[in-house]
Structure 1
């Protein structure tokens, strides 16, 4: 069944390359390098749904589909050029220097290291190098080494309570426990404030959709795929219903 967990890349807006991540066109360039359909088909073996936002599917809090995103090397190079970077011979440089970054991943979710490799390989084609670091405890590493990484693979259950409250406050609000990249957008923060003080399922869902659409359209983090949830049981078992996962992170 479709899951409520989302695999994505966290951008570090307080890291060694914060200046680049704060540039919308640079974020769009990195996004273009990540072929979601290919990742879903190969890394996930088809067991997932590609997504560009934290609330995928047709739930009440899911935003309406956005414009089709360009993908591929040519699209990425166009975005990097628009970001003010130099593009020559299909390679990107920043003030004449090659761009080097660090991506952190972890093996508790075996697909995530493969996604890190996808980014490393795709970025190398445009001259951007990524060093892959594997952390034993991803949350601890990202928190304690914020000045040493640029992007991280991550998995989070975005709809833990069914309404997205845990996710928007933990991952998108300044100081949130899972806001490892130090995202701080006043517009998003204002929407979260309104969300937290609004009563009623439908009004809250409407604000959640606006939050998800804003994060998607500003390319904050790179949401990639929502893995399916599966269960194996003996043929003698009847009436089994697979429920969404209850754990939030990792």
Structure 2
């Protein structure tokens, strides 16, 4: 069967005259944050589906895509639907299943990205979530970790040390699934290069307190402070506070 022989349901039009379009007052409010994210994805080469409009130019679906394309000065691709129930798109948007971070990881794996194969294996080994695993195993180029994973920007940079951290420290912490923030705080102290056995003891002694602290720098400071207790000065972790509220450990 040749797909080109199938019946045409809709035609896709294109224009760079943004004045032809208008928003429907009852539609959801435009999120500038979402528009900015879409604009970045389009600039990075992602293809976006056409927007759907009424014959009078009212946008039924795709107002965020419209705004993102307008910001970038790109032409608008659109489909005209003559008849549609008022709540059809609202209901369809509610029922759409969005891709999870794991879905994106699996996609990049299927595309042959070896870094994502390493990430998936490390997640299974460490039982960490995607973001915590990525921050432990490698780096993301120029984005927040979660968005970087989605965009294919994750790279493995410290595989051996990441597995050592899991085997020597994290697996010995008394909680079966530490929160991501606690993992980051432990990692911050671990990176100084200290006695891992003593580090584990300190974390276990403080764990209930750490669960009540919301900020990673404060968690790391408490762990480092307890670690230093009764140690000679030459073996202590040096703790210095930064102007941005973070702490530097060395």
Q: Which category of TM-score, normalised to the shorter sequence, fits these structures?
A: under 0.3
Higher relative contact order (CA 8 A, sep 6+): 1
- TM-score normalised by the chain length of structure 2: 0.25
- TM-score normalised by the chain length of structure 1: 0.25
Structure of higher CA gyration radius: 2
